[in-house]
């Protein structure tokens, strides 16, 4: 039996010697490479924190001492050391989550995988311990240098510093990266801290220089004193933290268990707020990750463990189309600039950055700042394009509402991984955006259905200079092209089937393909159906309201919240127009979703074409006879649909 197989709880680590721990860390890395290669997941971050996690569990008594991970994708080692070594179905339904999960273990605290939150959690837990009289308990927050670029982390630091009698240990896992290398002033600050061991050597050089110039005297003494102060600020600027009242320990070799334990025990014994600065290497111990200069294998699909190459190469996807089209737009328009929040490559902006390096701004994990900074850029004559994962737009909602929309700023938001992303669990599904954005006055939102409409709608979005625009698309490979038969004003008509009663099936974005399947199923039952793609789904266009009024029943299909989503918006627009045609909406329920594949979630929520067709047929059967427009009126396509160029968003 290996050392790892004998670990069932953190206490089992404390009887191992340093040589045995070194064997254990190698076993953990081998396990991670083999397991994650089969399932996909976050490999690089976990390979980088093996020794750090072992040391944490040897020094602190979890779950009595609480360990909070930010963002949680580096918690695989923590899972292994707390009795969870079955990774066979990692990130699959019924298996382990890719993040900490309270349903899995009492050792887990924060399930939300959004960054920069751990320090606030730690502050709150420490305050609760104090109020409840729980003495002798520590709270540990493990936060990466990338997450420290988020403003929320600094708000928390400001408060943690006030609690000098509260034991909060902040472990800065400094690997110089988030997805990509960490940027900004904080990154330069941590770089300077990494050079701290050279501080005394530089001082000795300064002393020798002064001695060669003659007797020190008062002037030389003053010069040396000034040099010492300046060098401390530049070469060892831990004063940034200690000036807040937070003790600083480090930098520590994050792969030396003995050194880590000494530092962590000092921090624990201090009894107040302490920062332990650990230098780690993302992807450590796995050659393909160590030699990868892009993201150190931050997250992988199913790969060959020997080479790191994917088992099934990715098909050309939505992100790749955006990456191509934004470069083309950038070539035509020098005022177009791009922003992202520490995810330059994942959202497809790397090619734009390569061609226009002075027109790309990676702000770190700071979505709030990104949005308001973009408002300033728009005011000053640029057209910013902010590319984010859809789930992270939630973090900048107030800024979008009050800084962009209120000021009618021409800012385009491109939301990757919208709708159901599945495997990453509750916090990463991009299902909130349309319901949230529906509340923003003047905002216009497009949901492309295929490659051609993504390119067209992105061009239309950046042409709007007096309001925020949004273009959203899902994760993964592109679907087959779905050309329009014609157009009803600004609305694309995708399919027509004769029959009575007549149903209008409205597909939103990629769900238009499902809408076509619904209409085919209805046609097989003799029910007439027209399938449309509104293209610009928010606000609801007058053309869509007009078209809906010519049918007996409207069915909407979307991959956002069914509550307050696009279907709800269309229902409200019809009511405002005095039209009582019934609307049946199909989408995602307003609840947090367990990790599962997109296909499993679609089936669970009855969002397959066959499911919706069956429910629609039952709804048609329940329509009152007077509701059926079977009086010989011409089919919608015979009088209302016309071919036309790409429509502009409704103004």
Q: Share the mean pLDDT of the chain.
A: 83
How is the chain split into domains, by residue range? 4-195+236-290, 318-472, 486-639
Alpha helices in 69-216 (DSSP H): 76-81, 118-131, 151-160, 185-194, 199-212
How confident is the model at residue 251, as a pLDDT? 83
Would you give the end-to-end CA distance of the chain in angstroms? 69
- SS3 labels along 46-85: HHCCHHHHHHHHHHCCCCCCEEEEECCCCCHHHHHHCCCC
Most confident of 39-43, 105-109, 272-276, 452-456: 452-456
Q: Which of the 8 DSSP states describes residue 300?
A: B
Q: What is the rounded distance in angstroms from the CA atom of residue 66 to the CA atom of residue 522?
A: 55
3-class state of residue 247 by DSSP: strand
* Burial group, residue 591, by CB count within 10 angstroms (0-12, 13-18, 19+): exposed
3-class state of residue 571 by DSSP: helix
Q: What is the rounded distance in angstroms from the CA atom of residue 257 to the CA atom of residue 267?
A: 15
Please, which pLDDT band fits residue 87 given cuts at 50, 70 and 90?
confident
**Interhelix angle for 609-621 vs 512-523, to 10°?**
50
State the Rg of the chain over Cα. 28
Distance of CA 380 to the CA centre of its chain: 29
How confident is the model at residue 149, as a pLDDT? 80
Contact assessment for residue 104 and residue 97, using Cβ atoms and an 8 Å cutoff: yes
pLDDT in tens, 320-333: 999 999 999 999 99
Please, which pLDDT band fits residue 247 given cuts at 50, 70 and 90?
confident
How confident is the model at residue 230, as a pLDDT? 42
Dihedral sign for Cα 241, 242, 248, 250, please. positive
How confident is the model at residue 628, as a pLDDT? 52
Q: Collect all residues with Cβ–Cβ distance below 8 Å to 454 and sequence separation of at least 6.
A: 318, 321, 322, 325, 448, 471, 473
CA atoms within 13 A on the CB side of 281: 13
Q: Which residues are annotated as a binding site?
A: 73, 113-115, 145-147, 175, 286, 367
Q: What is the rounded distance in angstroms from the CA atom of residue 153 to the CA atom of residue 148?
A: 6
How open is the CA angle 272-275-278, to the nearest 5 degrees? 145
Query: Does the domain made of 486-639 have the CATH classification 3.90.79.10?
Result: no
The CATH number that domain 4-195+236-290 falls under is 3.40.50.970
Instruction: Give the residue, 651 or 631, on which the prediction is more confident.
Output: 631
pLDDT in tens, 582-621: 999 999 898 888 877 888 888 888 999 999 999 999 999 9
Q: What is the rounded distance in angstroms from the CA atom of residue 399 to the CA atom of residue 407?
A: 11
How confident is the model at residue 94, as a pLDDT? 84
Q: What is the rounded distance in angstroms from the CA atom of residue 25 to the CA atom of residue 257?
A: 10
pLDDT in tens, 116-137: 888 988 988 999 999 899 988 9
Catalytic residues: 282, 367, 395
Q: Which residues are annotated as a binding site for thiamine diphosphate?
A: 73, 113-115, 146-147, 175, 286, 367
How confident is the model at residue 446, as a pLDDT? 97
Nearest to 508 by CA among 600, 418, 637, 425: 418
Nearest to 15 by CA among 44, 57, 45: 57
Please, which pLDDT band fits residue 522 given cuts at 50, 70 and 90?
very high
Q: Name which CATH class applies to 318-472.
A: alpha beta
Q: What is this structure's pTM?
A: 0.79
How confident is the model at residue 221, as a pLDDT? 42
Q: What is the rounded distance in angstroms from the CA atom of residue 278 to the CA atom of residue 258?
A: 13
Expressed in percent and rounded to 5, the helix, strand and coil fractions of the chain are 40, 15, 40
How confident is the model at residue 190, as a pLDDT? 55
pLDDT in tens, 61-70: 999 999 999 8
Please, which pLDDT band fits residue 650 given cuts at 50, 70 and 90?
very low
Please, which pLDDT band fits residue 95 given cuts at 50, 70 and 90?
confident
Alpha helices in 213-290 (DSSP H): 217-235, 239-242, 257-270, 287-290
Between the alpha carbon of residue 467 and those of residues 69, 113, 403, 408, 490, the distances in Å are 38, 31, 11, 5, 19
Q: What is the rounded distance in angstroms from the CA atom of residue 465 to the CA atom of residue 469?
A: 9
Nearest to 593 by CA among 391, 315, 341, 360: 391
Residues, the chain: 651
How confident is the model at residue 246, as a pLDDT? 82
Say if 4-195+236-290 and 318-472 have the same CATH topology. Answer: yes
- Which pairs from 627-633 meet CB under 8 Å and 24+ separation? 627/501, 627/552, 627/553, 628/500, 628/501, 628/552, 629/500, 629/501, 629/502, 629/550, 629/551, 629/552, 630/500, 630/501
Number of other CB atoms surrounding residue 88 within 10 Å? 12
Instruction: Identify the H or E element spanning 250.
Output: strand 247-253
Q: Which residues are annotated as a binding site for Mg(2+)?
A: 145, 175
Contact assessment for residue 494 and residue 506, using Cβ atoms and an 8 Å cutoff: no
């Amino acid at each position: 039996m290996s050392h790892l197989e004998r670990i069932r709880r953190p206490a089992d680590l404390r009887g191992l010697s340093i040589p045995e721990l070194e064997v254990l860390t190698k076993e953990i890395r081998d396990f991670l490479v083999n397991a994650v290669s089969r399932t996909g997941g976050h490999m690089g971050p976990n390979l980088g924190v093996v020794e750090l996690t072992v040391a944490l569990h040897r020094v602190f008594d979890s779950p009595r001492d609480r360990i909070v991970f930010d963002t949680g994708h580096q918690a695989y080692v923590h899972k292994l050391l707390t009795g969870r070594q079955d990774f066979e179905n990692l990130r699959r339904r019924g298996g382990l989550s890719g993040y900490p999960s309270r349903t899995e273990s009492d050792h887990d605290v924060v399930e939300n995988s959004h960054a920069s939150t751990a320090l606030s959690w730690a502050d709150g837990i420490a305050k609760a311990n104090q109020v409840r009289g729980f003495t002798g308990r520590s709270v540990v927050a493990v936060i990466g240098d990338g997450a420290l670029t988020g403003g929320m982390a600094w708000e928390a630091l400001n408060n943690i510093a006030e609690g000098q009698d509260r034991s909060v240990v902040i472990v800065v896992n400094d690997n110089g990266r988030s997805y990509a290398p960490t940027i900004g002033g904080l990154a330069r600050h941590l770089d300077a801290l990494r050079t701290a061991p050279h501080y005394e050597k530089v001082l000795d050089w300064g002393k020798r220089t002064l001695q060669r110039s003659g007797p020190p005297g008062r002037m030389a003494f003053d010069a040396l004193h000034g040099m010492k102060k300046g060098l401390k600020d530049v070469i060892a600027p831990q004063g940034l933290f200690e000036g807040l009242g937070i003790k600083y320990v480090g930098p520590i070799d994050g792969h030396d268990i003995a050194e880590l334990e000494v530092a962590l025990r000092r921090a624990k014994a201090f009894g107040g707020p302490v920062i332990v600065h650990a230098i780690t290497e993302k992807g450590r111990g796995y050659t393909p990750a160590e030699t990868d200069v892009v993201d150190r294998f931050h997250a992988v699909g199913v790969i060959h463990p020997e080479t790191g190459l994917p088992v099934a190469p990715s098909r050309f996807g939505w992100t790749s189309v955006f990456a191509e089209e934004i470069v083309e737009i950038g070539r035509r328009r020098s005022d177009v600039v791009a922003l992202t929040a520490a995810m330059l490559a994942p959202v497809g902006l790397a090619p734009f950055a390569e061609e226009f390096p002075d027109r790309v701004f990676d702000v770190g994990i700071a979505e709030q700042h990104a949005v308001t900074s973009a408002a300033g850029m728009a005011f000053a004559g640029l057209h910013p394009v902010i590319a984010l994962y859809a789930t992270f737009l939630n973090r900048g909602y107030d800024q979008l509402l009050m800084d962009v929309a209120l000021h009618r700023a021409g800012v385009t938001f491109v939301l990757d991984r919208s709708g159901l992303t599945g495997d990453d669990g509750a916090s990463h599904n991009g299902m909130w955006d349309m319901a949230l954005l529906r509340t923003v006055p003047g905002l216009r939102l497009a949901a492309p259905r295929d490659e051609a409409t993504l390119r067209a709608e992105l061009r239309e979005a950046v042409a709007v200079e007096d309001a925020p625009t949004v273009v959203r698309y899902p994760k993964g490979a592109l679907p087959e092209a779905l050309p329009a038969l014609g157009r009803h004003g600004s609305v694309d008509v995708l399919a027509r089937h004769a029959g009575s009663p007549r149903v209008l099936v409205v597909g939103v974005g990629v769900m238009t393909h499902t809408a076509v399947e619904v209409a085919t199923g209805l046609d097989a039952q003799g029910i007439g159906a027209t399938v449309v793609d509104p293209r610009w789904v928010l606000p609801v266009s007058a053309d869509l309201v007009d078209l809906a009024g010519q049918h007996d029943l409207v069915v909407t299909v979307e991959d956002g919240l069914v509550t307050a989503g696009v279907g709800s918006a269309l229902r409200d627009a019809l009511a405002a127009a005095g039209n009582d045609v019934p609307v049946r909406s199909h989408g995602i329920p307003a609840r947090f979703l367990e990790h599962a594949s997109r296909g499993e979630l679609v089936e669970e929520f009855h969002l397959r074409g066959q499911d919706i067709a069956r429910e629609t047929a039952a709804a048609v059967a329940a329509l009152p006879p007077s509701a059926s427009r079977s009086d010989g009126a011409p089919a919608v396509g015979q009088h209302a649909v016309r071919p036309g160029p790409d429509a502009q968003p409704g103004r």
